[in-house]
Structure 1
Amino acid sequence: MHEGELALEPGVAAQLIARRFPELRGVPLRPVSTTGTVNRIIRVGDALVARFPIVGASVDELVREAAALDEFAASSPFPAPRSYGTASASEEFDSAWAVQTWIEGDVADPERSATSEQLAHDLVALISALRCVDVRGRVFDGRGRGGSLGDHDEWVATCLMRSEHLVDTARAARLWAALRELPSADTAVMSHRDLTPFNLLIAEHEGATRLAGVLDGGDFGPADPALDLVAAWHLFDAPVRRIIRAGVCPDDAEWHRGAAWALQQALGLGWYYARSNPAMSALGISTVERVLADAELSALVD
């Protein structure tokens, strides 16, 4: 999926895990096939999972991520992984890596979950709970999405150029031009920062689709309150998106910024992962189409 990916043989992974965590020596290991784009995932017994970065990470990065992961798990009303430990790079694997607790559930599907009202209510509960966490004087750290929309103009332009065969790029360009002029958030709130379907685990309960867990909380931190609203656009059709809007109660500018963050993210997924990760690419295309089809947003450019 990326240039410079690190190779990792199963036997090497077993050696690394046993050396760093002797108590796990001999525990069954099972590679897990996922749509993830950052880590190779290996199940360690029934309770743990090892995450080996695909393009490398420093131990300082993973220690920071572990602290954020534990803060997120303590703040989320739904199950989330906690850090078990980190390991430094070695001759066998030129990156730091980590072990976390395992959370059961099926990955949410942007098509099958599109009309799930109970899942929307669960996401309202999640987003609302995260917003109540004290930022403790912290501000947006400048990494990725969550600051100023205009900072992403160059990336969006690149994505539009690469996506002409996938989506209506002329319309997407007009909409981005309108949305990027929205006022930025006055204050930041604590945010998961990547509430895509592949980070949301679901389970069926009494005939309804419920949120069973939330993955990848390692970027938990202050950001634009609109950022976690991307989940509404990635997952739901228009009627169910209204449940998110009514439950979270954003003003119009915040709601529209949520659509802008979803558009920015989705435009990068479609073309970039077209061959290497078809499921991620399909998510990007479907989200762009949802944003472009929204009547309220269309009024901004028609």
Structure 2
Amino acid sequence: MDAPEAEVPIDESLIERLVAAQHPDLAGPVRIVDNGWDNTIARLGDDRCVRMPRRAVAAPLIEHEIRWLPRLASRLNVPVPAAQRVGEPGLGYPWRWVICPWLEGRALTEVPIAKRGDTARDLGRFLGPLHRIAPDDAPHNPVRGTPLAATAPRLEQRLAHPGVPDPAHLRRLWEVGFSVPPQTGRGRWLHGDVHPGNLLVGEDDARLAAVIDFGDLTAGDPASDLAVAWLAFDAEGRAAFREAAAPWHPPRARAWVRARAWAVVLGLAFLTRNDDDSRMHAIGVHAMDELLAETP
């Protein structure tokens, strides 16, 4: 689907006026840098970022970030966009919004896949500590971290897309993941949307500099986060990622089998996107290449 239209108008003047009215000590020049599916992102001065929901469905997601991300940030070894200030509705804008640190770096999508080994190791060491047991009142996400059975309708819909290569092979990979026992016990914290567009690396290297966009933060099966092994890396990078994550996710753990099935579901989502973001489509193309090289 094409990215939905914003349900409220957000421009630089509105952001400047809201910041000046509610956080006058942080007032400064504002420049909108992105309008995503859920949020408008603006740079505030040199070292801060403003995130504002642009649709009603995104408003609860930013509430999850407001409540939980500052608590999680303290135990993570890579910067994340934890809120420094919270903005309230005003000037005709209906939802809460946040001011976060501006996190420097370039998206991993800009790094050739063969040169992502450092990212793979850093990401494995980041996700392990994140994937701790979550409290009972952690956010619920109906499409991430769920048992694989819940992904079956989306899988079949995406496999029917005319641009999908070898649907039978991809279905078999998913079925292998589905056949192993699901995660048991309490859910674990998940980022929920780990892909190269949400991973920032250094301007001059591929070291992980920040992990952004925690709107899908949830509790559940870490396998859906681990699917990034196929979305972001080649076989060598995947091995480095798995080795780095081994203290939390041992190499023979069933979570990796489920993760590959999740990579089928998520890779197809990127492949079959109906928009003009070539970077996101390229993630799907790469995932298909990696998955089709694997034996079910």
TM range, normalised to the smaller chain? 0.7 to 0.9
| 241-250 or 138-147, larger mean C-alpha shift | 138-147
**How far did 1:127 drift?**
1.9
For the 8 Å contact 1:73–1:217, the answer to whether it is kept is: no
**How far did 1:106 drift?**
1.0
C-alpha separation in 2, matches of 1:139 and 1:250: 27
The alignment partner of 2:201 has SS state of strand
> Which residue of structure 2 aligns with residue 178 of structure 1?
176
Change beyond 3 A, Cα 1:289–1:94? farther
> Which residue of structure 2 aligns with residue 149 of structure 1?
148
Give the % identical residues.
Answer: 27
The alignment partner of 1:75 has SS state of coil
For the 8 Å contact 2:120–2:238, the answer to whether it is kept is: yes
TM-score when normalising by structure 2: 0.85
Change beyond 3 A, Cα 1:286–1:59? closer
Counterpart amino acid of 1:190?
W
> Which residue of structure 2 aligns with residue 262 of structure 1?
263
> Which residue of structure 2 aligns with residue 128 of structure 1?
128
C-alpha separation in 2, matches of 1:94 and 1:53: 9
Summarize deviations over 1:184-216 as a string: whole Å, max 9, x none: 1123332222221111111166xx521111112
**How far did 1:107 drift?**
0.9
> What count of residue pairs does the alignment treat as equivalent?
289
> Which residue of structure 2 aligns with residue 193 of structure 1?
192
C-alpha separation in 2, matches of 1:271 and 1:92: 36
For the 8 Å contact 1:57–1:97, the answer to whether it is kept is: no
> Which residue of structure 2 aligns with residue 231 of structure 1?
228
Counterpart amino acid of 2:259?
G
For the 8 Å contact 1:85–1:100, the answer to whether it is kept is: yes
For the 8 Å contact 1:139–1:222, the answer to whether it is kept is: yes
For the 8 Å contact 1:110–1:283, the answer to whether it is kept is: no
Unaligned runs of 5+ in 1: none
**How far did 1:69 drift?**
1.5
The alignment partner of 2:81 has SS state of coil
The alignment partner of 2:227 has SS state of helix
Change beyond 3 A, Cα 1:157–1:49? same
Counterpart amino acid of 1:78?
V
Change beyond 3 A, Cα 1:268–1:176? same
Root-mean-square deviation (CA), in Å?
2.6
The alignment status of 1:22 with 2:24, answered yes or no, reads yes
| 148-157 or 90-99, larger mean C-alpha shift | 90-99
**How far did 1:152 drift?**
1.3
The alignment partner of 1:51 has SS state of strand
C-alpha separation in 2, matches of 1:277 and 1:212: 23
Summarize deviations over 1:12-70 as a string: whole Å, max 9, x none: 23223323322233x01112147x43212100012211112232347554333212221
**How far did 1:245 drift?**
2.2
Counterpart amino acid of 1:244?
F
Change beyond 3 A, Cα 1:61–1:209? closer
For the 8 Å contact 1:201–1:215, the answer to whether it is kept is: yes
After TM superposition, list the pairs within 5 Å mapping 1:1-302 onto structure 2: 1-6=2-7, 7-25=9-27, 27-33=28-34, 36-57=36-57, 61-90=61-90, 92-109=92-109, 112-131=112-131, 133-136=132-135, 141-161=140-160, 163-187=161-185, 188-203=187-202, 208-247=205-244, 248=246, 249-272=250-273, 274-294=274-294, 298=295, 300=296
For the 8 Å contact 2:188–2:220, the answer to whether it is kept is: yes
C-alpha separation in 2, matches of 1:234 and 1:111: 13
| 234-243 or 213-222, larger mean C-alpha shift | 213-222
C-alpha separation in 2, matches of 1:279 and 1:169: 23
**How far did 1:87 drift?**
3.2
C-alpha separation in 2, matches of 1:268 and 1:152: 11
Change beyond 3 A, Cα 1:38–1:291? farther
**How far did 1:139 drift?**
6.8
**How far did 1:110 drift?**
7.3
Unaligned runs of 5+ in 2: none
| 63-72 or 166-175, larger mean C-alpha shift | 166-175
Counterpart amino acid of 1:83?
A
**How far did 1:267 drift?**
1.2
